[in-house]
Structure 1
Amino acid sequence: MQDLSNYDKHVENAISYFWEVFPDMITAIIILIAGLWFIKFINRITRKFFERKDYDLALESFLMQLISVGLKVILFVAVVTQLGVESSSLLAVLGSAGLAIGLALQGSLANFAGGILILFFKPFKIGDFISAQGVDGTVKDITIFTTKINTFGNQLAIIPNGQLSNNNIINYSAEETRRDKIDVGIGYGSNIKKAKDILLEICSEQATI
């Protein structure tokens, strides 16, 4: 009988606690829904702003991702704080978690730093044809952590920014014109001067096209 009384008391306490936190839960849900809508609105406004400006496409993509992530972190803190968690305790937990995650994800942080270096020094931009890490193709997108390249076979290659920023890159689109080497073989008994004149004539015709 004593156990049943204790059970009823626990149930009563649980119901009482639920009704105490219920208004905060509703408020937190409203904040979450309104916050997600606000983030989408800010992203849309930011995208339209960049469309009106002549900024680098890679920089636009990077900044939009950074703004979106930052706003979501702020929204998370606001929702959790509304549920009764003290902001100081939450910041301490986030700081400890950030340190642990940073140590566990050193490679990702290196890729993030590599993305910053790529955007700052601009060894290539979206639309450039490059050769890097054994991949040849056109740069499709530069994100926070990786660079996406479309290859000749229309395949998508995703390369970490850390590797790109610390290794050799050949940018074929950096200059307006490029020099190429083409080996042309002729017979030993052929007229070399005539062959040379024919090749120069072909090159001259192609240059005027």
Structure 2
Amino acid sequence: MQVVKQITGIASVIDIENIDTDQIIPAEHLKITNKTGLGKHLFSNWRYNSDGSEASNFVLNIGSSRKTKILITGDNFGCGSSREHAPWALIDFGIQVVISSSIADIFRNNSVKNGLLPIVVNKESHELLLKQNAKEISVDIENQKIIADEKEINFELEAFTRYCFLNGMDQLDFIISQEARIAAFEKEQVRYE
């Protein structure tokens, strides 16, 4: 992972509740274990017509939203089965942040492990953010604020998640960074056996 303190970019809104992982990345695209190349299949049942052409009315196919970095969604985003392919597809498309009024726990955990920032905001803030389609907004991880329409929206991150993003490390990187402390602890345990 890279150090990430702030993300600024175009926001795209998909105001649909209960978007599950099968809608994010349909099962027919799960035959690979490589993280790259999944972005073209992101929301494929919505992004493409039956003949494979782009659906002209889907938000990620329109103008500046093709390069969106921040996805704002309806309530209960990422519900359904656990599949790391869902955050992989979002990241491969270029999305770095998902914001909702609630995000399924298993999706949130998979996202954090893969460098996708999941943010939950209160209902009032969510209503404001749902009006930000195709607008540039900023997510300040260090100060835990979203800046949209010249307003600041506070959000909370778990301390460990925040630490990992600000220091450019995933869970494994963190464990490796603690190698000296782990070795010292293990050495101390041997003394008491």
Give the TM-score of the pair, scaled to structure 1: 0.24
The structure whose Rg is larger is 1
Q: Taking CA–CA contacts closer than 8 Å with sequence separation of 6 or more, which of the two structures ends up with the larger relative contact order? A: 2
Structure with greater proportional helix content? 1
Structure with greater proportional strand content? 2
Give the TM-score of the pair, scaled to structure 2: 0.25
